[in-house]
Amino acid sequence: MKQAILHGSETTPYDLLPDNNPPMEFQAMLAPGKKKRAAVRLWMRFDCTGASELLECDRNMIMRRSSIPARDLRVLGPLFSQSSNILAREKALLVNLEFIKAIVTAEEVYLLDPTNPAVMPFVDQLRQQLLQSPPRITDGDHDINFQETQLQVSINMQPSEPWPGTPMAEELQNELPFEFRVLEIALEAVCSYLDTKVEELEQNAYSALDELTKHVSTGNLEHVRSLKSHLTSLTARVQKVRDEFEHLLDDDEDMADMYLTRKLTQWHPGDSSILAASHVDTVSSAVASPRVSQHSGRLVSNASVVTITAADGSDVEDLEMLLEAYFMQIDGTRNKLLALREYIDDTEDYINIQLDNHRNQLIQLQLILAIAAFTISCATSVAGMFGMNIPCPLYSNEHAFVPTTFGSLFCSTVLFFLITGYARWKELLGT
């Protein structure tokens, strides 16, 4: 073994090793400038046209792309995998609902772990929905002309008049911003997934409970116990999603912060492409704003006025209607679970009543057997008395055995019926 040299040099405990090489777990500690590499996770990016790509990004890259603080990315980590959160930040939404873990901005979506079998149907649905309704206007000049036409029409008409019969007027009025379209698809996927799970549980539970009421056995009880455990966990998951919806509906400020497209137009008031992406808010604000010019040359300069008017208002009606619709759906799913739990509780009460009835019958049988044993012991006491070595005149009588035996049995039988009748009179035995 190599000896450590202590003259004029500083040594470490690893110098005593044969090959003078420290273990691998200590090499990173010995290297002062080497840092541990951040974990790389698989993401799928969608843009507003439905185009997608797979990305292997670490935390820093996702933070740069989505402008999300590091502390908020913990919501999408494994520590909060069982929680349900919809958080609104300055430039993005964090969605953590069941299997959907995504970052939604005003122009793109980052979906975590897209190869998960539970996430793949949502990926297909999201791609299909975005491809069916892509951005209608992409050219900058066309954006200006389109917004100019819509603003002029909305300014010139009275508030009580209907929209003109243009091909896209009704669709533009009802179309949601990009982040709300993605959020709607996510909410629909989560609510449908939970509702499907509840329906499967109902089919298995009702059949198992009906079988249990017909025949109480260890196998049936174990099956119902496992179903009840599944019901408890599923109820907790549904309750978490419902509570998150309720929390958002109770707070108008949180819902207002979720209007990313509206905030984006406020940051870039002169960008016509952003105005086209948020044409719903722009057109609706133009109706109520008398300061918007009717001349095409002043459209871009007045766009900031329209945007600020929309952003300053507390109009969260679109998002509130969206959340209310899925809140009612998830509340209906929760009601199904509560009804199933009540049915399980009723079945358990019925089984307990049956078991109590059987227990009472066993107690009555035990009481009857105890009465019979007492009367028989009275008859056998006669044999014990005659078995003593005491002289008795009956020993010399040859015909005393039969009347003595049957007389003892008759007396014990009469005693049995007397005691049983008294027990029935006191309602200790069933009729």
Write the CA distances from 87 to 72, 392, 430, integer angstroms. Answer: 9, 103, 65
Regarding pTM above 0.85, the answer is no
For 20-52, the DSSP string reads ----HHHHHHH-TT--PPPPPEEEEEEETTS-E
Res 264: pLDDT: 77
Res 269: pLDDT: 52
Res 50: pLDDT: 84
Look at residues 198, 43, 187 and name the one whose alpha carbon lies nearest to residue 122: 187
What would the two tokens of residue 268 be?
């870039």
Reply yes or no on domain 37-133 having CATH 2.40.128.330: yes
> Going residue by residue through the chain (431 aa), what tens digit of pLDDT does each one get?
444 433 433 444 444 444 445 444 444 444 444 444 557 888 999 988 888 889 888 888 888 888 888 887 887 877 766 778 898 888 889 999 888 999 999 889 999 888 888 899 999 998 988 887 655 443 434 443 334 333 333 334 344 344 444 444 344 445 778 889 999 999 999 999 999 999 999 999 999 999 999 888 889 999 999 999 999 999 999 999 999 999 999 988 888 888 888 887 765 555 544 444 444 443 343 333 333 333 333 333 333 333 333 444 446 788 889 999 999 999 999 999 999 999 999 999 999 998 899 999 999 999 999 999 999 998 888 888 887 877 878 777 778 888 888 888 899 999 999 999 998 898 888 76
Look at residues 369, 367, 404 and name the one whose alpha carbon lies nearest to residue 387: 404
What would the two tokens of residue 356 be?
């109590």
Q: What residues form DSSP beta bridges with 55?
A: 43
Locate CATH 2.40.128.330 in the chain.
37-133
What is the helix, strand, coil percentage profile of the chain, to 5? 65, 5, 25
Res 308: pLDDT: 37
What would the two tokens of residue 6 be?
């202590």
Res 417: pLDDT: 93
Res 301: pLDDT: 34
Look at residues 309, 307, 316 and name the one whose alpha carbon lies nearest to residue 265: 307
CB atoms < 10 A from the CB of 123, how many? 18
Residue listed under structure tokens 């109590």: 356
* φ/ψ of residue 118, rounded to 5: -75, -25
Res 209: pLDDT: 92
Look at residues 67, 97, 95 and name the one whose alpha carbon lies nearest to residue 194: 97
Distance CA 113, CA 221 (A): 38
Res 276: pLDDT: 45
Res 28: pLDDT: 44
DSSP 104: E
